[in-house]
Structure 1
Amino acid sequence: MGRTKARLPLLITVILLLGTMLAACGGNNNGSNTGNTGSEGNTNKTDNGSTAKPGEGKAEDEVTLKFYFGGDKKSATDEVWSAVSDYVKAKGLNVKFNINFIPFGDFKDKMLVMAASGDNWDMNFDGDWLSYKQMAAKGSYMALNDLLPQYAPNLYKKYQEQGTLSAATVNGQVVGLPWTMKMNQRIFAGWRADLTEKAGINPAPDSIKTIEDIDTFLHAVKKAYPNEKMSRVTPLAIYQVRDEWVDLGFHGLGFYLNDPKITVQAIEQQPFFKESALMSKKWYDDKILNRDAMIDKEDGAAQWRNGKSLFTITSHEWANANPGFADPSFTQQTSLLYPDKKFVNRTALANVVAINRNSEHADRVLRFLDMLETDKTLYDLVQYGIEGKTYVLKGDAAEYPDGMQTTTSNYMEWGGQWAFWKPQFMRPNPTYTKDFWLQEAEFASQPINVNSPVDGLFIAEDNIKNEIAKRDQASDEFGKPLDFGTVKNVEEAVASYIEKQKDNGTDKIIAEAQKQIDAYLASKS
């Protein structure tokens, strides 16, 4: 009895100490989240207040993941993603989806505004041709170095095998998740063959190779169809291919592939820029370039499919894929431009998904992406939708249901799906035939198609923000009219534009970009 009484104070002390420790563990750390792991960190609260690691099979609170993609929202989207939610819930991921779309013409500007305003969403589609580089530069995307291997180990392993994460790494931080495809977007001239054949204009296959060939051809088509809208495509990209110019995707700077020093230069100072502006002026005056081309924000691919243009500049992909014309009587013919010129392969950053720095559910986004990497049933559901409603299977091929096609689809071919493409699961479909992407990868491996020596480089803007802002503003105000042929005197306008950009600090921007490129190349040697 005496010994029992002697131990009671010690026992009470231990109990109080344990209670204090448990209270501390259950606290909210003043609301901080130093690990930047989303709202749940390494564990998920269950309905009874306990915690469970992902995959332990215990219930976790339902959360809604808010995603943004580019393009127009198709009619069955919400129904499909409700089915996606049901499927992943059965697999232990308790999430719903709020799926949003932004038209591609507005995508870049809107994403930048949303990020600057501190908007809260979880994941979005992006690419080097949209807002990715600016968003990454501004710190709008969450660093995933620790989270990716923890919550998406299968996807992380794929990236390790491909070595593509370096392309999405900024200052040592992985801020984007690239697609896993290999391709080259060499440009082709494309035209409505049903109309040119009707007019007796029948160029031999692959005979249109140069800007001069295109100019002659377009004037012949315009003469045959004087009242039709011809094209909204300017010739600048054609001249860049001719001269083997590589656009850095950095505020109008680039370099020539035949330059071993990789000397950074401004595009407006290149001889081909003035040549292009002169051709644009000719096309604008002759109504080959649509009069509203400079302000038209409608998706160019949709215009082509719907028969709103007779000519386009397209890629190797769409020269060989089914463009999905709205009218089955429409046909296209294409011709590879400057086939003897080298051209860089498409970067791993062509299509990415990224997690917003303000996301409270980064762990669940990554768990979803990891499931998509390994689960073919989920892949079919996300990419093609609900069998019998948004697609039908014909053998292994995913086809449109009767009465639907690309332009009238209720889900298939939705915009922004590309970052989710998985070569191991892709089905033949009305757009891409069997083994299409294997052939695309083979084309990208031809000697004439090369990897950019600076692929994966991200040029930081911290030291040149003011100069870049002025340069971008002048590009919109004075560079765009030159590109679209709306100026009165091209020679004077080009000279004036060059001087304006010099005054805006172009030399400083070039020097900073060159310094970073030189350091990047030195690190690879």
Structure 2
Amino acid sequence: MKSAVIGVVAVLVVSLLYILYSPYITPELSNSPGGQDVATADRQADEASASWVTLRMIMPGDQSARMGDFVENELNDRLKKELQIKLELTYIPWSNYQQKLELALSTGEEYDLFWYGAPFVSVYHTKGYIQPLDALLDQYGPDLVRHIPDENFKQNRIDGKLWAIPSQAFTSAGKFSSVMVRQDLLEKVGLSEITSIADLERFYDKAHAIDPSYYGYLETDRGHEMLWRELTDRNYSSLDERMLFMVDEDSGEMLSYVESEVYGKVARLRESWVKKGIIDQNLVGNPAAKIDQENAGKLLFRVGAVSRAMENLQTARSADPNARLREYYLAEGKPKFITTPSNEAFMITAASKHPDRAMMFMNWILQSQANYDFMIYGVEGKDYELEGGKIKQLTPDPLMYEWMWRNKDYFIAPAGVEDDVIRDMLTNDENARISKLFGFHFNEASVKNEMAQVMAVYKEKFEPINFGLASYDAYYEDALKVLKKAGYDIVFAELKKQFSAFKRQREAG
């Protein structure tokens, strides 16, 4: 009996070993056509298919026909092969990007990745819309770390954790404190450069006399820092885009912008510009209409952004083939400050199902010059070609926003941009100073209710003053009283407390 049991067990063991190792001891069968088990092949195909994921990404603007075609075909063909990703882009028009983006984030829609300016990182961190990225960057982002300076990442760290990918690594001093002008039109009316507010007004008067359809404006949601350069002898930097607070770069003190003397100067200047027609009342508060007018070639000047003269050239030349753009700083002798080395931030949502693939995708873009060019410019020979070492677009439809990913290691200047414009941009950071705000994030969690009330009042009472539509002298005092009643002083006190702690920590090393 015992020997019979042993015999049965031996047969079973031999059979099991044969099943397990037969592919290795009979290679001629496994490698021959049709020799592989059909069920195994089907299972492997199912596993490969299951490992593909759809990466859902939100971007601002309007998707061009070629962009949609490029993503659906050439880009996704490569992403599927190399990352097992299918990219699904959702575009939201610039005019209501923030509103619709925040709706998607607040309702927990399962998007994976989105873009916004760096000042919004702390806002979305406080609201719980995004997730920390340290582990993901360590595992999946070696090329991001290789091509983006460490200081760029530091600006997106809050409480010791990384919350956004600083996708741009380029010159950044004085961003949004310059003015971009139609240089060809400036020269057409007998002027050569812009050095003052009076120059801008002369430019408008002369150009408008030739063609009343031309208009000039500085965005009313920006541009205050450009005007500060001339309207005050102090050096100020805005805390963020909400225009409530600013830092004095000389004293290091956090200040209330809306209670400052320079706020009144900016408001009165804009009011005078509305009366002169420099700021068109029909365009105020209507970003889409402003963009339409700019696309039609009617814009004389707008806020600069270090490299906007290069970025907007194709748009300007679509309306006027002779268009040239140039950026200038008022009070040129005043210093420029680096508040954020990269204003562009890609964040992975808290609701993301595929945070690993989102990081892999961002890393893939900077993996090589070929990937970078492909992502931004498309297919060489179809969408672009190299002409004298510069990028020449072959299709009128834009693809990705180049400025979102602009990197010093891979940057190629566009064909047609004058060398002096490129030189201005590449040397912009020379002799710049690091802002007192560099690396600071205001955690609004403890005053989020007050901040919400303050912003509601600000939008209702202060924006018309900012736009130049409501008289500063007539409406400011009442607006300030309502703002303080909403909790402004509580928010300001908390901000100053956090900023003082930040300065002590930085000074301690």
Same fold (TM over 0.5): yes
1:245 aligns with 2:236: yes
Tell me the distance in 1 between the aligned counterparts of 2:310 and 2:374. 26
CA contact (8 A) 2:217 2:301 kept: yes
Tell me the distance in 2 between the aligned counterparts of 1:251 and 1:195. 32
Identity over aligned pairs, percent: 21
Q: 1:281/1:341 Cα in 2 relative to 1: closer, same or farther (>3 Å)? A: same
* 1:142 counterpart (128, 131, 136): 131
- Listed as ranges, the matches of 1:94-493 within 5 Å are 94-128=84-118, 131-159=120-148, 161-179=149-167, 180-184=169-173, 185=175, 187-195=177-185, 201-203=189-191, 205-206=192-193, 208-226=194-212, 228-231=214-217, 233-234=219-220, 236-242=224-230, 243=232, 244-249=235-240, 251-260=242-251, 262-298=252-288, 300=290, 303-319=293-309, 323-324=313-314, 325=316, 326-332=319-325, 335-345=328-338, 347-394=340-387, 396-401=389-394, 404=395, 409-412=396-399, 414-415=400-401, 417-430=402-415, 440-446=425-431, 449-487=432-470, 489-493=471-475
Deviation of 1:463 after TM superposition, in Å, equals 1.0
CA contact (8 A) 2:56 2:111 kept: yes
Deviation of 1:477 after TM superposition, in Å, equals 0.9
Q: Deviations over 1:255-299 (max 9, x none)?
A: 343442x32222211111111221222221222210123221227
Deviation of 1:178 after TM superposition, in Å, equals 0.2
CA contact (8 A) 1:397 1:427 kept: yes
**AA matched with 2:494:** E
Q: 1:440/1:229 Cα in 2 relative to 1: closer, same or farther (>3 Å)? A: closer
**AA matched with 2:91:** F
| More deviation, 377-386/432-441 | 432-441
1:31 paired residue number: none
CA contact (8 A) 1:135 1:141 kept: yes
Q: 1:334/1:433 Cα in 2 relative to 1: closer, same or farther (>3 Å)? A: closer
Higher helix proportion: 2
**AA matched with 1:89:** K
Deviation of 1:173 after TM superposition, in Å, equals 2.4
2:21 paired residue number: none
Tell me the distance in 1 between the aligned counterparts of 2:434 and 2:77. 42
Question: Which secondary structure state, in structure 2, belongs to the residue aligned with residue 374 of structure 1?
Answer: coil
**AA matched with 1:336:** Y
CA contact (8 A) 1:69 1:125 kept: yes
Deviation of 1:437 after TM superposition, in Å, equals 7.0
CA contact (8 A) 2:176 2:225 kept: no
What's the TM-score, normalizing by structure 1? Answer: 0.79
RMSD over aligned Cα, in angstroms?
Answer: 3.2
Tell me the distance in 2 between the aligned counterparts of 1:420 and 1:351. 8
CA contact (8 A) 1:232 1:293 kept: no
**AA matched with 2:501:** A
Tell me the distance in 1 between the aligned counterparts of 2:46 and 2:154. 35
Question: Which secondary structure state, in structure 2, belongs to the residue aligned with residue 470 of structure 1?
Answer: helix
Tell me the distance in 1 between the aligned counterparts of 2:440 and 2:107. 27
What's the TM-score, normalizing by structure 2? Answer: 0.81
Question: Which secondary structure state, in structure 1, belongs to the residue aligned with residue 239 of structure 2?
Answer: strand
- Listed as ranges, the matches of 1:10-159 within 5 Å are 48=43, 61-81=51-71, 82-91=73-82, 93-128=83-118, 131-159=120-148
**Could you list the runs of 5+ residues in structure 2 that have no partner in the other structure?**
9-40
2:480 paired residue number: 498
Q: 1:418/1:313 Cα in 2 relative to 1: closer, same or farther (>3 Å)? A: closer
1:516 aligns with 2:498: yes
2:27 paired residue number: none
**AA matched with 1:304:** E
**AA matched with 2:343:** A
**Could you list the runs of 5+ residues in structure 1 that have no partner in the other structure?**
9-45, 53-57
Q: Deviations over 1:321-373 (max 9, x none)?
A: 66222211334465431112222225134011111111111111222222222
Deviation of 1:320 after TM superposition, in Å, equals 6.0
Tell me the distance in 1 between the aligned counterparts of 2:154 and 2:46. 35
**AA matched with 1:252:** M
| More deviation, 430-439/330-339 | 430-439
Tell me the distance in 2 between the aligned counterparts of 1:121 and 1:70. 14
Tell me the distance in 2 between the aligned counterparts of 1:3 and 1:347. 81
| More deviation, 390-399/77-86 | 390-399
Deviation of 1:195 after TM superposition, in Å, equals 4.5
Deviation of 1:428 after TM superposition, in Å, equals 2.9
Deviation of 1:503 after TM superposition, in Å, equals 1.5
Q: Deviations over 1:118-139 (max 9, x none)?
A: 111111111136x444222212
